[in-house]
Structure 1
């Protein structure tokens, strides 16, 4: 597992590294940890190859929240844990789907709970592919690339980060395939990947792509609960 610690404070960053070493020893795990003392340095190097990022919010230059927005544009699956001196900043974690936050000075017990939560987040974001057939033949779609899926008469439309794919199929059967994955139905005939939800409103859901999809009154409570559970109760 690859872990990044991004914090302009040498002392705070070293505390996280020490805790990671203790956690490894206690659980017989192996982490590859790298420390960055500026978010710009981290973003310059980042290519989607980290599993968990401990990210300080208050840094000079590009702060942690700005860095997290850019990270999310590149990678929906990485686990982000904010580290901050002020708890009120933590609410911003909703916007970038942070797993959780820790308030400095961080204690080991709190740290270990957040790291275990990151493991659960990673488990729910494991890559999985589905196969569909259309006029071009058999197409493989990576589930994590799907923003949402909707029914159009006898067809299913898969809206992904790379475009739209269309195939004949049953929404009921496809929902069964996605049952254990982070998807939830926002209205009859439309299922959203919770990784890409930016905001759940009164009667709509806003995606990270700024697209707004209608949220039915009948499904609103369940959708909101699915999203809260997905976020780990943040």
Structure 2
């Protein structure tokens, strides 16, 4: 989930960064901007796409609402979340197809709630892993991914139907697409689909087809919890 945060108040930006760091979700990737014009120019120059925009309404020169109107001319799918300390703007923001609204002062619970809401929405609308290889584009559904293995820049994607795909992608880029509740790290190189885990025994994760993958001590506790939560949810 790629997020653009824009507010001309540095204290608010620092608050948001602190809350996101506490949440510690590897699927969240964010960048901060201190004015809407800066954000607009950045998107135009780098052709950057964000899934979510968290915008302050009242900013100098270009307001959050003005930026959102420009954004909607080219992007109708990104989620827009507005922040303001003045509740009279609540009705104005919905002219720009607004996803949510946060009233200041900010709190950890408010930010956590809205991030969970956006992540859930994006997860429902995007259940596949997209990548390019040799000028070809691919989309592999989460349910068909068995595990992913990195070797330097190279990423190999092993599927349930015994296919293998390859692309070049950084770990941060990989996690920006994956759902951290469905996938878990086994070691620095391997990410597994929790639904394909049969059991965890010592240093090994046994997949449903009997294949064994090595899990390091650093990731064992977290993966066991994810696996238990998954099993508890389906029984």
Larger relative contact order (Cα-Cα within 8 Å, sequence gap ≥ 6): 2
TM-score by length of 1: 0.50
Query: Which one has the largest radius of gyration?
Result: 2
